Amino acid sequence: MAESAPGPPHEWLQHLYSAGQWERLDKVALDCLAADPEDSDAHEYRAWALLKMDRLREMEPHVTFLLDRDPENLSTLELAACWHIASTRPRKALPYLQTALELDPEAGRLWFLAASAEAQLGHVKKSQEYSSRARQLDPDNPDIARLHISLGSIEKTDARSALADIWEYERALALDPESDSLLASIADVYLDELEMPERAEEYYRRALQIDPMDKDHQQGLWRAIQKQNIWFRTLRLPVSGIELVANVFRGMMIKPSLIFYFIIGIKFVLCFFVWLALAFVVFAPACWCVEWLVMADIQRAHGMADKLGGWWLRFHQQPFWVRLSVCITLNLALWWGMFYAVGVSPLHGFLFIAGFFALNFIMLAAKIASRRSEVKAQTRKASSPPPLPKMSQPPPLPSMPGQSES
């Protein structure tokens, strides 16, 4: 074998799996399969390695082989369920989980996977029920705790609930300080619920120190950095609006009764979509240019720009001010073209864009200030001592020295 193993091949596979060295595990498992294509352990370990590396399409032959070999093996059933859940095929995962739970109904991990599958399907009540069962069976598992807390906070949007969620996450994190998923969940709450991107950035960086290859953590860190710049957040409003629409439709799938609120407020909904279309036309090109510049620098730093063609690499080797000037010129040309198309003078058009930007900037700043004020009030309330008990009547004054009581 190419790798220097501390013992027999299967012990080496177990060692690499326990150490989380997925690329090396993949290589060693491939070496084992080259020597023996019927090696069940090598098939299983390689499948887990591919799952951890998000190479889901390559898992299929290994999962199929293991299911054909032993369709009632508990580990194989769990692997198949994980594969389908990761591939967003929760309906296909449920039969495997049902069989696995019949074999071992006390496995908290299996109830956790069932809760994850039901959550993907939008079955919130079932998912909450299964996650509660998983928490009872395995209260110290950080992944189970994370899912249970996040499901419990679905319908809560106030700052007090968000702070309570962070407290719950911190309690779970104390059980496993190296859980990158819990650190990222805390960061998500700070970022999306509490308007505290600086704190979110701190937790995302801690999560990335544990798992630097996790794409969700990388994206979360990028969002936290973005949110610290209110000018860029204003440009990104149409993207945030589209994300809001997607979340609303997802919420209506989970809770169909929400559609009645949608119908009642149809005028406000239409106004929102008019604003979204206008913001998209005005802000989106500039937003994409800024994101393009920053992400291109990140890709270049990681040696990924070469894959996108020589012109891309040559352009991003230019000084930043040159690339920024090109993007500004392209945006101005686009806006000028739009003004010409609708018959508006450039002066009036640019004045409109400036006014529209200023209005959205002020509204966004007010929203951020309001949320942060609410968070400070809740934090102050949580840290202040409870009030003294009220008495129905004031106590009698003590008698003065030398004064007889009446």
**Given a cut of 60, is residue 314 above it in pLDDT?**
yes
Q: How far apart are CA 304 and CA 312, in angstroms?
A: 11
Output the pLDDT for position 111.
95
Output the pLDDT for position 301.
54
354 exposed, middle or buried (CB, 10 Å; 0-12, 13-18, 19+)?
A: exposed
CATH topology for 152-228? 1.25.40
Q: Where are the domains of the chain?
A: 152-228, 231-370
Output the pLDDT for position 91.
94
What's the whole-number mean pLDDT along residues 212-237?
82
What's the whole-number mean pLDDT along residues 189-205?
88
Q: Please write the tens of the pLDDT for every residue from 111-148.
A: 999 999 998 888 888 998 999 999 999 888 888 888 88
**Given a cut of 60, is residue 405 above it in pLDDT?**
no
Output the pLDDT for position 140.
81
Output the pLDDT for position 122.
81
What's the whole-number mean pLDDT along residues 16-30?
89
What's the whole-number mean pLDDT along residues 159-165?
81
What's the whole-number mean pLDDT along residues 276-303?
72
Q: Please write the tens of the pLDDT for every residue from 54-77.
A: 899 999 999 999 999 999 999 999
What's the whole-number mean pLDDT along residues 379-402?
47
What's the whole-number mean pLDDT along residues 285-291?
77
Output the pLDDT for position 401.
41
Output the pLDDT for position 208.
87
**Given a cut of 70, is residue 390 above it in pLDDT?**
no
